[in-house]
Structure 1
């Protein structure tokens, strides 16, 4: 594989969406209150990347949605290190009071940072979070975790993530949530994708995640007749 990452910029990256194309994709988007809850993935934590704006994926999505609805309200309470239970206890109530009609949930990764993750408890917590979120009436959307990370402390971490991703897909499907699947996304193979912590996507990855969220949202919009 040829390393062309250093030559890419946000304008030339084929995995990104130019602002005009993104706005066109979301023409007619109905959402006016966009909320995001969860952990550092929700928050969009990541280092800068040369040639890319240092913006979290959520801010990028909100900027595009504002082209359809200039008065869009955006709230992101994503917190580094938050577990699912902490998201429920510390973020869910405030987000529901915000009254989102589009709500992104990303958490579960921090529940894997244990000697032996309790997947039964993780599943129960996820179900409670999604059930509560679905009660808002908002369209729900989430990510699966990517596989580019490097966690020497836990050699079986990819196995853990695959299992978590399976739970996310299952629970999301039960609540008709959109799933943006980053596990097998081609961006995972790019050199320079990860931040210095070897966990979080840098700004280039944030731009790609935003593009994938926008593409997913476009699938639920009415299609124009030819």
Structure 2
């Protein structure tokens, strides 16, 4: 009888500890975020657009369930306690719908800081018309900039995937290129999410596979704060 001796099994590696808002290297504690925006002049913050502007997303364990824009408003209130905040973000809104239904409210509000959408819902067509999307986005950005406000905007991240469109990555790349051009034209604060490390997180997206969960919203807010801090640092 032959005896077979198996080597001792190696213990499985301990699972990585789950990140929380306090341990997430891409988040900012509220006090630190307010410190970065110390002296910020913005007193009237508006976010217009779609669900990305609205901050739609599922809860994440260890993170406050707030959208990125609400988080940014809270930080700005630490700097400007009388901050006025308007968010007209609408789930599913295309750029043309934002032009038709949200610009008047934004103008009446009189913002000095405006977040504008990147046209994500313009991609949900059999054949997107990128030239038309760029024209509409340009009209939208020009109207927002016409208020005299500083503009902020996002590109779409690579984690945002719609399997029903085999060319989805190409669509996002093309739209992101449009947004980058318009950001340069308007000297906007652009948070370029496409290659951000957060895209690799398995729990980044909500159950719908589209919207960032609360952890992603926290990272977006931190990146906008950093972008605005960079603008403040460049002041004369």
Superposition TM-score, scaled by structure 2 size: 0.91
| Structure 1: 5+ residue stretches without partners | none
Conserved in 2, the CA contact under 8 Å of 1:82 and 1:107?
no
How far apart in 2 are the matches of 1:8 and 1:222?
Answer: 30
Query: What SS does structure 2 have at the residue aligned with 1:31?
Result: coil
Larger radius of gyration: 2
How far apart in 2 are the matches of 1:130 and 1:140?
Answer: 8
Tell me which residue corresponds to 2:114: 103
How far apart in 2 are the matches of 1:194 and 1:29?
Answer: 31
How far apart in 2 are the matches of 1:223 and 1:139?
Answer: 14
Question: Is 1:193–2:204 an aligned residue pair?
Answer: yes
Query: What SS does structure 2 have at the residue aligned with 1:7?
Result: coil
How far apart in 2 are the matches of 1:96 and 1:214?
Answer: 24
| Partner of residue 51 from structure 2, selected from 33, 40, 53 | 40
Superposition TM-score, scaled by structure 1 size: 0.95
| Structure 2: 5+ residue stretches without partners | 1-13
Q: Deviation at 1:223?
A: 6.7
Alignment of 1:1-226 (within 5 A): 4=16, 7-222=18-233
* Structure 1 runs of 4+ with >4 Å offset: none
Query: What SS does structure 2 have at the residue aligned with 1:38?
Result: coil
CA RMSD of aligned residues (A): 1.4
Q: Deviation at 1:152?
A: 1.2
How far apart in 2 are the matches of 1:218 and 1:199?
Answer: 29
Corresponding pairs, count:
222
